[in-house]
């Protein structure tokens, strides 16, 4: 067996181990919450050793961070339209409404929106996905009005404000005792804000 074949096998084994740990951690974190989740239980569910856990993740917090990043990527993939949309703002609005639906996923609601801000802090939680979202919005703004460019302060400020509004809407629903009841109101007010922002961009 060649050295290359051996190395490829090790890489595949390492990837499978990491995936097993993330899947087991997701299950245990959702069931028990971060504080009560035990690494002993996670490695048992994953069917690996504690040594394997600490080979891939320095501690429980880093494992939790890995789970959160995975959930964020999954959520972001649902926000990408299946087909090209001629109106960039319409695409953005559709993504916003889809992001509110993400709150209905138990893992995303509990771990990403409720536990992660306390465990990781907002700065760390946002760093892994916010830049790409902000860049997408800045590009969209640039297509609406030439006075906005991807590198302008105006586009950066408005993009940050729009992302913050969407995040707060998701957090409100995540902490609501009845998200289904509150969803229409949250959606209505959020769309009102977006319409105002679009009018401002067009009229600028």
Contact, 69 vs 128, CB < 8 A? Answer: yes
**To 10 degrees, the CA torsion angle through 125, 129, 135, 136?**
-130
Domains of the chain in start order, with CATH, are: 3-57 (1.10.10.60), 67-203 (1.10.357)
The 10s digit of each residue's pLDDT in 80-132 is: 555 666 777 887 888 888 889 888 999 999 999 999 999 999 888 777 666 66
pTM over 0.85: no
The 10s digit of each residue's pLDDT in 40-79 is: 999 999 999 999 999 999 999 999 999 999 998 887 766 6
Hey, what are 92's tokens?
A: 């953005």
d(CA 137, CA 142): 9
């Amino acid at each position: 067996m060649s050295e290359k074949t051996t190395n490829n096998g090790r890489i595949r084994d390492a990837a499978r181990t990491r995936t097993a740990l993330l899947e087991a951690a997701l299950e245990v974190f959702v069931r028990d919450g971060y504080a009560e989740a035990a690494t002993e239980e996670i490695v048992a569910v994953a069917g690996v050793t504690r040594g394997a856990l600490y080979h891939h993740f320095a501690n429980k917090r880093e494992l939790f961070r890995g789970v959160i990043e995975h959930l964020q990527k999954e959520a972001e993939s649902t926000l990408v339209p299946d087909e090209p949309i001629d109106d960039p703002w319409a695409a953005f609005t559709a993504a916003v409404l889809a992001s509110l639906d993400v709150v209905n996923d138990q893992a995303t609601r509990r771990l990403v929106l409720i536990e992660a801000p306390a465990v990781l802090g907002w700065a760390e939680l946002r760093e892994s996905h916010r830049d790409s979202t902000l860049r997408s919005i800045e590009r969209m703004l640039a297509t609406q009005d030439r006075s906005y460019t991807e590198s302008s302060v105006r586009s950066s400020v408005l993009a940050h404000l729009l992302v913050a509004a969407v995040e707060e809407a998701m957090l409100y629903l995540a902490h609501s005792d009845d998200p289904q009841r509150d969803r229409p109101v949250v959606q209505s007010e959020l769309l009102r804000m977006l319409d105002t922002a679009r009018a401002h961009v067009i009229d600028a």
